[in-house]
Chain A
Amino acid sequence: MIEASGLTKLYGLQPALRGVSLHVAAGEILAVLGHNGSGKTTLVRLLATLVRPTAGTARVGGHDVVTAPEAVRRAIAVVGHTTQLYDDLTAAENLAFAEALAGRRAARDRVESALARVGLDGQGRTPVRELSSGMRRRVALARAILREPRVLLLDEAFSGLDQDSTKRLEDHLHVFRAGGGAALVVTHSLGRALAVADRVTILAGGRIAGVATRAELSETALRQLYLEATETGA
C-alpha cells in the first residue's frame, strides 16, 4: 500500500532525504524512527503529496504521488503534531467542514459516532480553543477516522499526548491494521515504535540506517540498532 523507491528531496542544495526506499503492506504498521533532522517529516510530507520529490518514486494507496496526487489524497489520512483544526470552531463543526470538503453532506450521526470513537461524545459543541491539547489531537484523529482511509500516515502523532489519548490512538491503530489498512508511524521514541509497529526502519541524515522486524524487536536489540545506526548514519 506504500511503496517508495529512491525517494530524494533537496531543498536548494540541502538534502533532506536521500534515496529512501521502503514498503508497507496492507495490514501492516511500519515505524520510522529517527532524530530531529533525520528527514522523517519530509518523508511523511512526500508520501502525503504535500511536497514533490526531487527524485525517486512513491506509490501510496495504489497511486503515484506525483502523477495522481488527488487519488492518493482520497486514500490517505494524515495525523500530525499540528492539528489542522480551526480553533474558533467547535469540534463538530471542524468535522462537518472536513466532510463538506470531501463533498459529503455533513451527516450529524457520522460526526457524532467519530467523536464517540475517540471518547469525545458530548464535546462536539465545545470550541476547539477550549479543549486540552490531548483532546484536540483526538478531534484530529476523529477527522482521520471519518475519511475512512486505506493508508494512515502519522507524524509524531503521539508526542505530547496524555495517557488516555495515547491509548485511544494505539487502539485505533490496531483496529485499523486488523481492518487491512497500512500505517506508517513516524516517531523519535523507541518505546512508541515498539508498542505499535510490526517493522521498524531507522532514518538518519536523510538515509535509511537500519531495518528491523518484529522478531528482532526486543527493546535492547532495537536500542542497540538505533544507537549504531544514528552514530554511523547521522
Chain B
Amino acid sequence: MSAFLRTAWAVLRKDLAIERRAKEGANALGFFAILLLFLFYFALGPDRERIRTALPGLFWLAFILAGLLGLGRAFALERENDCLDGLILAPADKGAIYLGKVGGTTVLMLAMEVAFIVASGVLYNLDLWAAVPDLFLVALAGTVGFAAVGTLFAAMTARLRAREVLLPVLLLPLAVPVLLAAVKLTELALVAGPAGAAGPWWRLLLGFDVVFVVTGLLTFEFVLEA
C-alpha cells in the first residue's frame, strides 16, 4: 500500500517540479488565463451584466481549455528522451502512476483556476470574495473528474500524430456531465438558489469523480502498455 502511495506521490512531485522549472512553465498557463479573460470581455461586450450572468459558463470554458493544454503537457514531458518507456519499465503499479498524473494535473489546473477566478474579479470588477471557498470546492471536484478521464486519453493521444485534435474530440463529450454539474454548482455558489438545489449536482459530480478515478486506476496499465 505504501509503495503505491509513494509512487503516486513521487510522480506528482516530479511533474510539479518539472513545471516549476521548465522554461515554458506554468507562466504560460497563467498568461493564457489572463488572455482568455480579455477574449471573453471582447466577445461579450462591455455590458457587465452579460458577463456576470455568463460567468459560471465562462469559468468552466476557460478551465476546460486550460485543462486540455495541461493534460497535453502532462504527457508531452514524458515523450522527451523516451521517459514513457521508463515509466513502463519501472516495477511500479501503473495505477499509482495514473494517480500521480491525475494529482499533478489537478494541482496545476487548480492553481490556474484560482488565479483566473481572482483575476476575473479584478478585471470584471465583481465581488467574488464571499464565494471563493465554495468556488474552490467546485473547482476541485470538477477538475478531478476532468483530469481523471482526461489522463487516460492524454496518455493515448500522446503517441499519436493528431494528438492536439484527438484529445478534445474524445474527451469533451465524455466530460459533459462535469461541465454541466460544475457550471450549475458555480452558479449556485455565486448566487444562492433554492435550498437543496446543489445536493443532486454534488452527488452527480462526486459520483463521476469516483467512477472514473476507479476506472482509470484499473485501465491505465492497458493504455500505457499498449
User: Which residues in chain A, 38-55, are within 8 Å of chain B measured between CB atoms?
Assistant: 48-50
User: Which residues in chain A, 61-77, are within 8 Å of chain B measured between CB atoms?
Assistant: 69-70, 73-74, 76
Residues of B within 8 A of A106 (CB): 10
From known contacts A50-B88, A85-B81, infer whether A101 and B17 are also in contact, taking CB-CB under 8 Å.
Answer: no
Residues of B within 8 A of A100 (CB): 6-7, 9-10
For A93, the closest partner residue in chain B by CB is B17
Residues of B within 8 A of A69 (CB): 225
A56 within 8 A of B: no
**Which listed residue (B9, B18, B87, B92) contacts A89, Cβ 8 A?**
B18
For B91, the closest partner residue in chain A by CB is A74
Is there contact, CB below 8 Å, between A103 and B92?
A: yes
Query: Once bound together, how far apart are the Cα atoms of A86 and B85, in whole Å?
Result: 12
A-B contact count (CB 8 A): 73
**Which listed residue (A80, A98, A101, A102) contacts B82, Cβ 8 A?**
A80
A84 within 8 A of B: yes
From known contacts A98-B90, A101-B90, A101-B91, infer whether A88 and B10 are also in contact, taking CB-CB under 8 Å.
Answer: no
Query: Once bound together, how far apart are the Cα atoms of A105 and B10, in whole Å?
Result: 10
Is there contact, CB below 8 Å, between B92 and A83?
A: no
| Count of chain A residues near B, Cβ 8 A | 28
For B2, the closest partner residue in chain A by CB is A103
B51 within 8 A of A: no
Residues of B within 8 A of A78 (CB): 85, 89
A134 within 8 A of B: no
Is there contact, CB below 8 Å, between A73 and B82?
A: no
User: Which residues in chain B, 118-171, are within 8 Å of chain A measured between CB atoms?
Assistant: none
Query: Once bound together, how far apart are the Cα atoms of A59 and B89, in whole Å?
Result: 16
B14 within 8 A of A: yes
Binary flags per residue of A145-172, CB closer than 8 Å to B gives 1, else 0: 0000000000000000000000000000
A36 within 8 A of B: no
Residues of B within 8 A of A105 (CB): 6
Query: Once bound together, how far apart are the Cα atoms of A226 and B142, in whole Å?
Result: 61
**Which listed residue (A84, A88, A98, A103) contacts B21, Cβ 8 A?**
A88
Query: Once bound together, how far apart are the Cα atoms of A87 and B92, in whole Å?
Result: 21
For A76, the closest partner residue in chain B by CB is B89
B46 within 8 A of A: no
CB distance from B27 to the nearest CB of A (A): 14
**Which listed residue (B6, B17, B22, B86) contacts A84, Cβ 8 A?**
B86
User: Which residues in chain A, 1-49, are within 8 Å of chain B measured between CB atoms?
Assistant: 48-49
Residue picked from A76, A83, A101, most chain B C-beta under 10 Å = A101
Residues of A within 8 A of B206 (CB): none
Residues of A within 8 A of B85 (CB): 50, 78, 82, 84
Residues of B within 8 A of A74 (CB): 91
Query: Once bound together, how far apart are the Cα atoms of A172 and B27, in whole Å?
Result: 43
Query: Once bound together, how far apart are the Cα atoms of A27 and B111, in whole Å?
Result: 52
Query: Once bound together, how far apart are the Cα atoms of A100 and B17, in whole Å?
Result: 15
Query: Once bound together, how far apart are the Cα atoms of A13 and B210, in whole Å?
Result: 42
Residues of B within 8 A of A127 (CB): 21
Is there contact, CB below 8 Å, between B14 and A103?
A: no
Is there contact, CB below 8 Å, between B91 and A89?
A: no
From known contacts A50-B89, A73-B90, A93-B17, infer whether A83 and B81 are also in contact, taking CB-CB under 8 Å.
Answer: yes
Query: What are 30 pairs between A and B in contact, CB < 8 Å?
Result: A50-B85, A82-B81, A82-B85, A83-B81, A83-B82, A84-B83, A84-B85, A84-B86, A85-B81, A86-B14, A86-B80, A86-B81, A87-B80, A87-B81, A89-B17, A93-B14, A97-B14, A100-B6, A100-B7, A100-B9, A100-B10, A101-B10, A101-B11, A101-B90, A101-B91, A102-B91, A103-B3, A103-B6, A103-B91, A105-B6
Which residues of B are interface residues toward A (Cβ below 8 A)? Answer: 3-4, 6-7, 9-11, 14, 17-18, 21-22, 77, 80-83, 85-92, 97, 225
Which residues of A are interface residues toward B (Cβ below 8 A)? Answer: 48-50, 69-70, 73-74, 76, 78, 80, 82-89, 93, 97-98, 100-103, 105-106, 127
Give 10 closest A-B pairs by Cβ, nearest first: A103-B3, A100-B10, A84-B86, A101-B90, A82-B82, A101-B92, A74-B91, A88-B21, A88-B18, A83-B81
